[in-house]
């Protein structure tokens, strides 16, 4: 059994500040694998409650909740790709384009050489 007494729990502003501090710590702990999507959702839920709103689902989607097929806008927004991955993909694409261009150049060179070799005996 837990008893919560109204005195000493702090004002809403203090509770909000503490919760924001916790969320900041959670953001840093994500890299270490100490925070799950469920943990972040519970923090967001508390934040919405402290802000005075009762319907958490209007602001945050619970992790693992299926999107409403009738409402495509209800699907979770995908996080942006990691800039390092984007840079690596761009370099790979550039390298592939260079290889393709080199292959095309070599083919043209070979075709020209074969055409020259065919016309050489006629001259």
Residues 55 and 14 in one domain: yes
> 59 and 22, same structural domain?
yes
**pLDDT tens profile 38-88:** 999 999 999 999 888 988 888 888 888 777 777 777 777 677 788 888 899
Number of domains in the chain: 2
Q: How many Å apart are CA 73 and CA 67, to the nearest integer? A: 9
Q: Looking at residue 88, what is its pLDDT?
A: 92
For residue 72, being part of any structural domain is answered with: no
- The verdict on residue 33 lying in a domain is yes
Q: How far apart (Å, rounded) are the C-alpha atoms in residues 49 and 87?
A: 40
Q: Is residue 73 part of a domain?
A: no
61 in the same domain as 84 = no
Residues in the chain: 123
As a whole number of angstroms, the distance between CA 9 and CA 115 comes to 90
Reported as a single tens digit per residue, the pLDDT across 76-122 is 767 778 888 889 999 999 999 999 999 999 999 999 898 888 887 77
pLDDT in the model for residue 10: 72
Both 56 and 24 in a single domain? yes
Residue 117 domain boundaries: 79-123
What is the Cβ-side half-sphere exposure of residue 42, based on CA atoms within 13 angstroms? Answer: 6
């Amino acid at each position: 059994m837990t008893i919560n007494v109204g005195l000493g729990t702090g004002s809403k502003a203090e509770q909000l500040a503490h919760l924001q501090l916790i969320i900041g710590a959670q953001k840093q702990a994500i890299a270490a694998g100490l925070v799950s999507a469920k943990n972040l959702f519970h923090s967001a839920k508390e934040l919405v409650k402290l802000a005075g709103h009762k319907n958490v689902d209007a602001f945050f989607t619970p992790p693992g909740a299926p999107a409403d097929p009738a409402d495509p806008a209800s699907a979770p927004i995908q996080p942006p790709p990691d800039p390092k991955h984007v840079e690596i993909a761009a370099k790979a694409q550039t390298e592939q384009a260079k290889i393709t261009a080199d292959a095309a150049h070599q083919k043209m060179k070979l075709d020209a050489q074969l055409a020259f070799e065919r016309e050489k005996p006629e001259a």
